[in-house]
Structure 1
Amino acid sequence: MDLVQTSSSAGALSPDDLRGFQSAFDNDPAYRAAMNAVTTTTVTQVALNRRKAALVNHSFSVHLPENPATSQKSSGRCWMFAALNTFRTKAQQVMNMEAGFEFSQNYILFWDKLEKANYFLENILATLDEPEGSRLLDWLMVAPQNDGGQWDMFVNLIQKYGVVPKSVMPETESSSSTGRMADFVTTKLREYACRLRGAHRSGASEGDLREQKQGYMTEVYRMLCIHLGEPPSRFQWQWRDKDRVFHRAGALTPQEFYAKYVGVDLSEMVCLIHDPRPGHDFNRAFTVKFLGNVVGGRPTEYLNVELDVIKQAAIKQLQAGDSVWFGCDVGKHLHKDLGVMDLDLYDFDLVYGTTPAMSKAERLMYGQSLMTHAMVFTGVDLSDEGRPSKWRVENSWSAEPGDKGFFQMTDRWFDEYTYEVVVSKNHVPGDSLRALEAAPVELEPWDPMGSLA
């Protein structure tokens, strides 16, 4: 091709530069072969390490009893599904039920959406003098109705609203595909923010603004009922157990149902994170400004610890018979159909002649990675010396991918892309837990540790 000089500015690509790029590409037949392959099929198919894929084995030395995989469908509710899935086995044991019982994810979704709307409007009232165009105000406007969440946000919902069986508040079209509902509610919330700020500029009193906000929340509640149905305040519960014995519990509130058939003391759970960035000390608690869902609820708090502390706590919990909620960057080095997360699964270096080489801390600092998905550990494969080699993962993407909806994660993948686990405090060393006695370090709202699964 003919190359014409178009600029003499420092840093501009010159014709000599372009000829050099072209020559380097044309002179290596491997690059031409890669081009021929990738222009006709996906790069992940071309780069898949077939030898590695053939070695996938779904046996684990520690493997908890499992339920059929759930499906969040076209929604961002993985954190709810994962958290509720950690309760399923316990409820089934208490009620002597067959595997397959589910809690209503739609019920939790309803209250999360309502509480998030209220949380957003309270944040607007708290920042009325923030100028338009400020980074904080722009950040608040990005996603007032995000489907995602964090563990402490789930705890807030359970403690306030309890749980119900899925049969009591089943899925709707909008709970399974939240996009249109979230878009409309988000549109209204941004409008409400505009009106509240405008009223403030016009001299409205705090009482006037709160009365205005109350009217807005009435509208949000109405919209959520239209999309998701009305959540029950009390319901009749009865079932037949796996021995064919009939049980009738009578009328229960969702809070009573949780206390009677789940009963997990959520105050005894702690969210451990692995954040190796400089200045983010281990054995230190962190929180994120403006991150939450329930006004007056439990703040989102993380305990930053060394990677081995996280692993050993998760292993101890699995060995004790309890599954582990965790958050990770699921899309990296993932083969969805195989249900495998493995750093060696793709030979991208053979395709591109280069491979990513940033550290975990560098990926966090430069926007290359953060927590994107929550799932549940239900097993781990330990060596004779007790070191993990791979982890069994319950996902919420239906029973189609992986091993009937269950995935596996290599331990090396865990090192690089797992960011948090939720475990009982009695599995965490005392010197780490003592960090919770001090006030947590506050991170900015846009910090990657504020990402929602």
Structure 2
Amino acid sequence: MNVVLKSREAVISDQMLFNTAVATEGEPVANQLASGRCWLFATCNVTRIFTSRKFKLGEFQLSQSYLFIWDHLSKANWFLEQMIDLVDEPLDSRTVQYMLANTPAQDGGQWDLAVGLVEEFGLVPQTVYPESFNSSNSAALDALLTSKLREMGLKLRKAMLAHLSSGVRKKEAMAAARDTKDRMLKEIWRILTTTCGEPPKPDEPILWEYKDKAGKVRSLRTTPLEFAQVHAGYNCSDTISIINDPRHPYKQVYTVERLGNVVGGRPVRYLNLPIQALKDIAVKMLQADYPVWFGCDVDKASDMKNGVMDIKLFEYDEAFGTSLKMNKRQRMLSQDSSMTHAMMFTAVHLDERGQSVRWRVENSWGPEACNKGFVVMTDAWFSEYLFQIVAPRCFVAPELLDIYDHDHVTPLPPWDVLG
């Protein structure tokens, strides 16, 4: 149907031409394969640009599977902690059922979750901890872990309720549950390391050997935490997430309840701004040679096979005599649109007034997908289907940083479309 409905005018106008771009893009185009790790790949894609500049590298990738395995262990711990915390809620409550259905083991995530992983576990080059079959094809592993964690969650609830009904104080019942949880996590870790290989520990010495663009072979002895903090070249901790959510007031801060991975790690926090503010910050970043991590609804008004995101791409009215008329707010309220994919901007085309016209997107589906791995996004598509960008704090106005840092944080429910 896409072939029949596709607008020829849109295809012609959506050229892969841009007058403002980062000086260097990462090589090669990364490929998340049959996994849902886009947010981790986009994080690694942003960071590796700075690592490659610092070490004068050609082809280079950070290990996405290193973050993947620690994320899965962290999410297992997070899920079991939620089961302990929710022991007073009925098993059939909406929150408990949502957590059981959606959170035990899955690949998805958010920028703040990625930052939490980097802060807790660090980063390593892909040659230090390469891809495995199960990190690249995660469905079977996720299914096994999900069933096992649901089993464990029910076991923890049953034991805690038995303790509480026998008169044991809640504090003591929770302590006993956490002792059991620690033993459970050893089982989860065995599954993860058997299927993906054992990663270096965050403070364990590693040796990275590489060849720079001049052809000289070099080496670096470090640890994953030191690599992230000293050598990576990009401080992901010094960033904020900025969203455009027309359902809620702007210049306010939001979070999503029970969304996390690293217990005690960086919380999810969004600063909500008008869409033009996101565009202005993204343009400033690209002009300063910084790529931009972003989250969007990738399947809407897009032809990812050919690498085009354009709200005028499909002419439904010509074919059917009707069109889609909901605005962004209505789509979010009706669950018709949500953040489904994370990617990275590396360029923008500006008109003679300095206004954005179209954007260059680096995806993580490999060089055979899209347009040699890249996508052109129209500015109108940005307005309608992009929800989030990430910006270093130096690109955000001081008064907005003050709101982000100090204002009240409004919680959104776990099942919100921004989760």
Query: Does the CA contact (< 8 Å) of 2:47 and 2:233 recur in 1?
Result: no
Uncovered stretches (5+) of structure 2, i.e. residues with no partner? 165-172
Query: Of the two, which has the highest radius of gyration?
Result: 1
Give, in angstroms, the shift of residue 121 of structure 1: 0.3
Give, in angstroms, the shift of residue 206 of structure 1: 2.6
**Whole-angstrom CA distance in 1 between matches of 2:368 and 2:159:** 52
1:257-268 correspondence to structure 2 within 5 Å: 257-268=227-238
1:60-139 correspondence to structure 2 within 5 Å: 60-64=18-22, 65-67=24-26, 68-98=28-58, 100-139=59-98
Deviates more, 1:74-83 or 1:342-351: 342-351
Give 1:33's aligned residue: none
Give, in angstroms, the shift of residue 245 of structure 1: 2.5
Query: Does the CA contact (< 8 Å) of 2:77 and 2:263 recur in 1?
Result: yes
Give, in angstroms, the shift of residue 253 of structure 1: 0.9
Aligned identity (percent) is 39
Question: Which of these residues, 132, 147, 150, is aligned with residue 190 of structure 1?
Answer: 150
Segments ≥4 residues shifted beyond 4 Å: none
Give 2:220's aligned residue: 249
**Whole-angstrom CA distance in 2 between matches of 1:238 and 1:259:** 19
Question: Which of these residues, 345, 352, 357, is aligned with residue 325 of structure 2?
Answer: 357
1:61-93 superposed Cα distances (whole Å, 9 cap, x missing partner): 112222221110000000000011001121111
Give 2:313's aligned residue: 345
Give, in angstroms, the shift of residue 227 of structure 1: 1.2
**Whole-angstrom CA distance in 1 between matches of 2:49 and 2:39:** 17
- TM-score after normalising by structure 1: 0.87
**Whole-angstrom CA distance in 2 between matches of 1:317 and 1:201:** 52
* RMSD over equivalenced CA pairs, Å: 1.2
Deviates more, 1:196-205 or 1:352-361: 196-205
Give, in angstroms, the shift of residue 223 of structure 1: 0.4
Give 2:336's aligned residue: 368
Matched, 1:52 2:10: yes
1:359-418 superposed Cα distances (whole Å, 9 cap, x missing partner): 100100011101100000000000111000000000001111333101010000000000
Residue type matched to 2:46 in 1?
Answer: T
**Whole-angstrom CA distance in 2 between matches of 1:85 and 1:257:** 16
SS of 1:374 mapped into structure 2: strand
Query: Does the CA contact (< 8 Å) of 2:51 and 2:232 recur in 1?
Result: yes
**Whole-angstrom CA distance in 2 between matches of 1:309 and 1:55:** 25
Query: Does the CA contact (< 8 Å) of 1:327 and 1:373 recur in 2?
Result: yes
Query: Does the CA contact (< 8 Å) of 2:51 and 2:234 recur in 1?
Result: no
Matched, 1:239 2:199: no
Matched, 1:292 2:260: yes
Matched, 1:438 2:407: yes
Aligned length: 404
**Whole-angstrom CA distance in 1 between matches of 2:143 and 2:110:** 21
Query: Does the CA contact (< 8 Å) of 2:112 and 2:266 recur in 1?
Result: yes
Question: Which of these residues, 233, 243, 247, is aligned with residue 273 of structure 1?
Answer: 243
Uncovered stretches (5+) of structure 1, i.e. residues with no partner? 1-42
1:189-236 superposed Cα distances (whole Å, 9 cap, x missing partner): 000011111112221733321121111100000000011110013321
Deviates more, 1:410-419 or 1:253-262: 253-262
**Whole-angstrom CA distance in 2 between matches of 1:267 and 1:438:** 19
**Whole-angstrom CA distance in 1 between matches of 2:400 and 2:12:** 40
Give 1:159's aligned residue: 119
Query: Does the CA contact (< 8 Å) of 1:75 and 1:177 recur in 2?
Result: yes
Question: Which of these residues, 155, 162, 168, is aligned with residue 128 of structure 2?
Answer: 168
